[in-house]
């Protein structure tokens, strides 16, 4: 399985942008990059995904490096509700696209 | 759509008893996942079904754990006999045909005493 490396934790001020990095150097060309987050006492929820191009949705933006060995989840204006654990997950074609979670990054947002 | 529905939300049982967790995936979804979450080990994938067929059960901890998906709208995860170390939050998730997001249920918090 592709390995991911994320910071254990990050801190942000409310209303400021947050850039959450992820290294996935062993990802292959047909593997998608998914991001999920888990709010306290809830199940994980999907945030965004991409393959090669940068992606935007109402929740966040995903910037994917040209060599696809890393990606960055961008929250444009962090709110207190964004405090959660964020998971970067390569969805492996050879793995049947099963979703395997690593340790993730715990994001703290200060008012 | 009601989303992925898990039952019960909380379960407290005595060591040695059989425990059955239930999951109703989102209608039309063809992939189903069972996960276990603990503080020590994080979110672990236990088993993955595609079109009701178990594709990968390599995450199932031992023979005490079994999972079934008799039809597209129902799955169970059974632990027999249960042990205190099985205490965790168990999540079920489902995903549609395209490679987009998986939707998670609210989880079942299992406590084995």
Model pLDDT, residue A82:
96
Query: Binning pLDDT at 50, 70 and 90, where does residue A1 land?
Result: low
What is the rounded distance in angstroms from the CA atom of residue A19 to the CA atom of residue B98? 28
| Sheet with A18-23, side-by-side order of all strands | A18-23, A70-75, A61-64, A55-56
Q: Which residue of A has its CA nearest to B104?
A: A43
pLDDT tens, residue by residue, A14-61: 999 999 999 998 888 788 899 999 999 999 999 999 998 899 998 899
Contact A65, B59 (CB under 8 A): no
Model pLDDT, residue B101:
86
Model pLDDT, residue B24:
98
Model pLDDT, residue B57:
93
Model pLDDT, residue B99:
64
Average pLDDT on A79-99 reads: 85
The CA-CA-CA angle for residues B35, A47, A19, to 5°, reads 115
Selected residue of B47, B59, B104, B107 to mutate for chain A interface (largest A Cβ count, 10 A): B104
Measured between CB atoms, does B53 come within 8 Å of chain A? no
pLDDT tens, residue by residue, A75-87: 999 999 999 999 9
Residue among A33, A62, A63, A36 at smallest CA distance from A47 = A36
B101 with A34: Cβ contact below 8 A: yes
B18 to each of B14, B34, B66, B78, B111, how far by Cα in Å?
Answer: 9, 18, 11, 7, 12
| Positions in chain B whose pLDDT score sits under 50 | none
Model pLDDT, residue A90:
87
């Amino acid at each position: 399985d592709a390995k991911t490396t994320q910071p254990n934790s990050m801190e942000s001020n409310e209303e400021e942008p947050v850039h959450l990095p992820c290294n996935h150097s062993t990802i292959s060309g047909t593997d998608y990059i998914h991001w999920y987050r888990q709010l306290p006492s809830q199940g994980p929820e999907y945030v965004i995904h991409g393959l090669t191009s940068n992606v935007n949705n109402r929740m966040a933006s995903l910037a994917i490096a040209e060599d696809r060995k890393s990606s960055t989840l961008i929250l444009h204006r962090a709110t207190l509700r964004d405090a959660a654990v964020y998971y970067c997950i390569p969805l492996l074609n050879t793995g049947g696209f099963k979703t395997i979670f690593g340790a993730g990054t715990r994001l703290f947002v200060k008012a | 759509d009601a989303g992925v529905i898990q039952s019960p939300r909380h379960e407290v049982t005595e060591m040695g008893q059989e425990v059955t967790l239930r999951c109703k995936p989102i209608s039309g979804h063809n992939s189903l996942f069972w996960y276990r979450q603990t503080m020590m080990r994080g979110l672990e994938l236990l088993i993955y079904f595609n079109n009701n067929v178990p594709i990968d059960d390599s995450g199932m901890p031992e023979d005490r754990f079994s999972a079934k998906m008799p039809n597209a709208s129902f799955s169970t995860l059974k632990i027999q006999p249960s042990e205190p170390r099985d205490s965790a939050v168990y999540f079920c998730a489902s995903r549609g045909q395209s490679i987009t997001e998986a939707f998670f249920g609210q989880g079942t918090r299992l406590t084995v005493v």
